[in-house]
Amino acid sequence: MSQEETTSRILEAAGQVFADRGFKAATIRDICSKADVNLASVNYHFGDKQRLYIATIKHAHQLPSSQFPIPQWHAETSPETKLADFIQVTLSRMIPKGKAPWQAKLMMREMTQPTLAVQELIKEYIRPHFDLLLSILRQLVAKQTSEQQLTKLGFSIIGQCLFYRFNQPVLHMLVDEEMVDQHFSIEQLAQHITHFSLLAIRHFTEEPNDPSSILSTPITEQYSIGTESNTNLPEN
């Protein structure tokens, strides 16, 4: 067996096992037996379990990213179209469709329970993706929009997308299957998120409590918390 075949078989098996069970609960014995290689192969080829894990994470995010690339945009492509594309690609990469989505599972696991691998993941994969989103948003909002406002806008969009990845099990328990089948395809979700977000962004010029807000009434008076109705929220 060539070196490359062994390592790639280990990586494939490791991806599934790590995704299923997490770093600690996954055992090298499981991985090796699934990969049909000797127990010592992992230590020989990767050094130790930790480094195998990092290699697996790296290996994992390459496939979905190349499978669903960001389209090449023309110079005259509208930012709205770019945003729609961005959301569609993001959702496609994250939501299981057809075959084994263990890559996504693994990455999400890594994001909620970060290990050492998360730093590399962010630097190589998440950060550039997020920066792309911010550059699109910058074309959609008023020029004076601050960096932190833009960042929050970005998180509002990413948050909507991530919901359908993280909470797949919850989704299926809250929404009956028929509705999921009819209305929750990737395309439909992408369209909803795009629509929802563009509606908000279009009217999103200033911080809610900014005096120059377009809102007739400052938002803090319009729908503030605890002023009239809420007396038992803990202080903070």
Partner DNA sequence: TATCATTTTAAACAACTGTATGAAACAAGT
Partner DNA sequence: ACTTGTTTCATACAGTTGTTTAAAATGATA
Task: Please give the residue ranges that form the binding site for DNA (CB under 7 A).
Answer: 1, 3, 6, 26-29, 37-45, 48-50
DSSP secondary structure of 90-133: HHHHHS--SS--HHHHHHHHHHHS--THHHHHIIIIIHHHHHHH
111 binds, among its own copies, DNA, none (CB under 5 to 8 A by kind): its own copies
Q: How far is the CB of 196 from its own copies (least distance, A)?
A: 5
Quick one: 54 or 70, whose CB is closer to DNA? 54
Q: How far is the CB of 187 from DNA (least distance, A)?
A: 39
Q: How far is the CB of 174 from its own copies (least distance, A)?
A: 6
Cα gap 199→68, rounded to integer Å = 26
CB 34 within 8 A of CB 13: yes
Residue length of the chain: 236
62 binds, among its own copies, DNA, none (CB under 5 to 8 A by kind): none
Q: How far is the CB of 1 from its own copies (least distance, A)?
A: 30
Quick one: 50 or 167, whose CB is closer to its own copies? 167
Burial classification of residue 143, based on how many CB atoms lie within 10 Å of its CB (0-12 exposed, 13-18 middle, 19 or more buried): exposed
Cα gap 37→7, rounded to integer Å = 10
196 binds, among DNA, its own copies, none (CB under 5 to 8 A by kind): its own copies
